Amino acid sequence: MQIKEFKIKWGMVIDIDKCTGCGACMVGCQVENNIAPMTKNDPYNYVQALTKDRDEASNKLKTLTWMNVYELSNGQAFPDHETAYLPRPCMQCGNPACVPVCPVIATDKNEEGGIVSQIYPRCIGCRYCMAACPYHARYFNWWDPLWPEGMDKGLSPSVSVRPRGVVEKCNFCHSRYLDAKNEARQNDEDPMNLADGAYNTACAEICPTKAITFGDLNNPEHAVHDLAKGPNAFRLLEKLGLAPQVYYTSEREWVRKQGDNYNADGGGHGAPSNSHG
């Protein structure tokens, strides 16, 4: 397996024991990145009336949620039952499953700190990358994006709005990275050596319990550098070898075991309960 390494490696460490599953990260991501909400009716589409309605937000399998919170369970009965919440952005894999499959190089693992980019005007919408990503981190624009009246005024000018028919995903709030680098240049600092916290993602910033820490995994001055090496740190699906740049940490063993396919007890998918969104 070929793992792409660059000087800077932006990554996240998410403390599952601190996460309360409040969903603020999902909302922060939604707003920061101009992610269209699901609206049932499209007032501009007259032919829509001839077919089924557009999906609304209750259909979690058609919504766009670059950041998604999963609910984990230890599978025990009350009173031993425990739950945990696992926020899941794109893992920005070192050996991404999604990049080599794209026929048109619309997605790439690039030198911008090892972030896996997505070029919307080039994507043909074949969804091969979605089929390839085991983390379900990629989302397709099933419908024309639509913002309820008034909400369109809150769109961020830094982030492009994606049209129908292309795949999109978390890019660690790339526009914030550009802003941070520009600010460093203005202050005569080295944009290739940003201080810890100079570039932060929306989800990490909004998290009320500070469960998400963001930074350069290669830089010893950044908190994530040590956190990712902590005794309880783990990555999702480590065995498949995609080498994510997102780490999780939990003191609970059953949580860590659910991070990877674990067959010591004879059954891989031991957890009976979970949910999307």
Partner 1 sequence: MDSKLFPEGVQRCSFGQFLIWTAVILGFFTWGLYAAVLVLYNGIGTTGLDNYFGFGAWITFDLAVIALGAGAFFTGLLKYILKIKQLEKIINLTVVVGFICYSGAMLVLTLDIGQPGRAWFGYWHPNVHSMLTEVIFCITCYCTVLIIEFVPLVLEQKQLNKIPFIHALAHNMHVNMALFAGLGAFLSTFHQGSLGGMYGVLIGRPYAFREGFFIWPWTFFLFVLSAVGTGPVFTVLVATFMEKLTGKKLVDYKTKALMGKIAGTMLSVYMFFKIIDTWAWATGYLPSVGLTFDDMFYGLVYGKWLLYTEIIICGVIPAIMMITPSIRNRPAMLYIAAILACIGVSINRYVFTVQTIAQPALPFDSWQVYAPNWVEYASSIMIVAYGFLVLTLVYRYLPLFPQERELNN
Name the residues that contact ligand SF4, by CB under 6 A: 90-93, 96-98, 101-102, 104, 106-107, 116, 123-129, 133, 135, 137-138, 167, 169, 242
Q: Residue 152: what residue type?
A: D
> How many other CB atoms are found less than 10 A from the CB of residue 219?
18
Q: 6 vs 142, which CB is nearer to partner 1?
A: 142
Residue whose token pair is 């059954």: 267
Q: Which does 91 bind (CB under 5 to 8 A by kind): ligand SF4, partner 1, none?
A: ligand SF4
Name which of ligand SF4, partner 1, none residue 214 binds, using a CB cut-off of 5 to 8 Å depending on partner kind.
Answer: none
Integer Rg of the chain from CA: 19
Binding segment for partner 1 among 23-31, 172-180, 217-225, 266-274 (CB under 8 A)?
266-274
Q: Alpha-carbon distance 133 to 64, whole Å?
A: 15
Contacts 24+ apart (CB under 8 A), 108-111: 109/4, 111/6
- Which stretches of the chain are assigned E, i.e. beta strand? 10-15, 68-73, 83-88, 107-109, 116-118, 138-140, 167-169, 212-216, 233-234, 246-249
Does 135 bind partner 1 (CB under 8 A)? Our answer is yes
Contact call for residue 268 and partner 1 (CB under 8 A): yes
Query: Quick check: bond before 103 cis, omega within 30?
Result: no
- In the complex, minimum distance from the CB of residue 18 to partner 1, in angstroms, rounded to a whole number: 18
Out of 4, 18, 62, 256, which residue is the one contacting partner 1 (CB under 8 A)?
62
Instruction: Please tell me whether residue 2 binds partner 1 under the rule CB under 8 A.
Output: no
Contacts to partner 1 by CB under 8 A: 1, 45, 47-48, 50-52, 54-55, 59, 61-63, 70, 72, 86, 95, 97, 100-106, 122-128, 130-136, 138-144, 164-167, 236-237, 239-242, 258-263, 266-271, 274
